[in-house]
Structure 1
Amino acid sequence: MESEGARTDRLSLLLDQFDKAREMAEVRLTGLGDEEFLWEPVPGCWSLRRRAEAATPRAFGPGEWVLDQGAPDIPASEYAEVARQAAGGMSVAKIADDWSVSVERVEEILAHPDAPEPDETPVTTIAWRLSHLHFHFQGGWEWTFGGRSQEPKLMVDFTPSAALALERFWALIDRWRDSVGALTEEQLDTVGLSQYPYGSDPDEPYIGVLSGANLEFIHHMAEIALLRDLWRARSTTPG
């Protein structure tokens, strides 16, 4: 039975999904401290580090603290999407450019789309996950609703303070939500409304970009929630 007054248009459904995910995430992130924020559950984690201590070749950020980033590649979870893009007419060269990989790498994936090898991406810390979301949504807002000029990887001054990181992140999410909530049906169908420079946003109707942003938020917050569970188990396990 449909709830009285419930809206079922495309934007409302995506906003309701996002709002519920945000509500759950805020509860799960309550009480996050600095030690847990930077906790590395296994050796070799990607995390947030001082610039002089960066452990990866493409760590980025405008200030003292930078976010680990390894060599570019296409994760196995995106192989099916790459196949769909190619089937939809996107050139191999364009796909390669979007992912910053070689044409040969894309061709290799397209030759075996149903048999992806396991990813070797390192485990990440809560700090990495939250900072990744922050720069993604900051850049997404800038290249859709802002001046469309700033480099996303230089827009967020990363911090090792969990409280400050969360304060800044939720303020950004408030702005994102307000801007998305004001979109028109025409804008949702506009190809290139987002000109975000990493990925395929400029080639997609914005409704698809928005759906992808929801997925990005949900899956990273789910991973953060798991890391919080592991931290708690670590702290309470005897011996």
Structure 2
Amino acid sequence: MCSSFQQSRKEAVRYLRKAALMSDQTWNPLLRDQIGWHWTYQLRDRLDGLTDDEYFWEPVPGCWNVRPRGTGSAPVQAGSGAMTIDFAMPEPDPPPFPTIAWRLGHVIVGVLAMRNASHFGRTPTDYASYPYAATAAEALAQLDAEYATWQQGVESLGESGLARPCGTAEGPYADHPMAALVLHINREMIHHLSEVCLLRDLYLHTHRTRQEAS
């Protein structure tokens, strides 16, 4: 833990020095580096080794999950393949607790894939048409692919592209600049994937306690 923290601090210093050398015309790398640094040095390694048991684990009754088609009870079961994701419209208050599989599905589709389709030429997709992963390994491969497409797309905007309006794909935020969307996606990824990491910790310690008790 200590060595990992020290490495993170060294990398943070390197990024700050890099930022200090940048002019006010280089916001694009800064926006990409915000999520890129988090992805590389704090997040992605923590997702390695995700098991199917963790992926589908329901820590409380009535979770929203990704399930084999026809086995769910949620009002909406979206997806084009063998697996569907639980939804309800409107969302209940409070909403059901989402599993790792559900949270990854949301990030892969709602946060990344739909935006990649709207802004960077990806094949059109949405929650209803996406083929959800039946395994943790498949979900991580989907996440990696959509993240790479997003980062490449943001890079392709250059500096001027960050100032252009998002357009109708972003609904009431159509007039907001693309830079605002990039910041939103960064927040969403950091938020939801941190939740996934926390659920992995909870799974580990819950099951370790049960094993020790037995």
Note whether the superposition's TM-score is higher than 0.5.
Answer: yes
Aligned residues: 192
State the distance in 2 between where 1:4 and 1:153 align. Answer: 39
Shift of 1:155: 4.7
Label 1:177 to 1:70 Cα distance change in 2 as closer, same or farther (>3 A). same
SS in 1 for 2:108: helix
SS in 2 for 1:37: helix
Counterparts of residues 219-230 of structure 1 (less than 5 Å): 219-230=191-202
Counterparts of residues 1-239 of structure 1 (less than 5 Å): 3-4=17-18, 6-7=21-22, 9-23=26-40, 24-73=42-91, 120-136=94-110, 137-146=112-121, 150-193=124-167, 195-196=168-169, 199-237=171-209, 238-239=212-213
Amino acid paired to 1:51? R
SS in 1 for 2:63: coil
SS in 1 for 2:17: coil
Contact 1:127 1:160 in 2 (8 A): no
SS in 2 for 1:196: helix
CA RMSD of aligned residues (A): 2.3
Q: Deviations over 1:87-140 (max 9, x none)?
A: xxxxxxxxxxxxxxxxxxxxxxxxxxxxxxxx5122111101111111021110
SS in 2 for 1:68: strand
Gaps spanning 5+ residues in structure 2: where? Answer: 1-12
Over the matched positions of the two proteins, sequence identity in percent amounts to 32
State the distance in 1 between where 2:119 and 2:18 align. Answer: 33
Gaps spanning 5+ residues in structure 1: where? Answer: 76-118
Aligned residue number for residue 78 of structure 1: none
State the distance in 2 between where 1:4 and 1:15 align. Answer: 13
User: What TM-score does the superposition give when structure 2 sets the normalisation length?
Assistant: 0.81
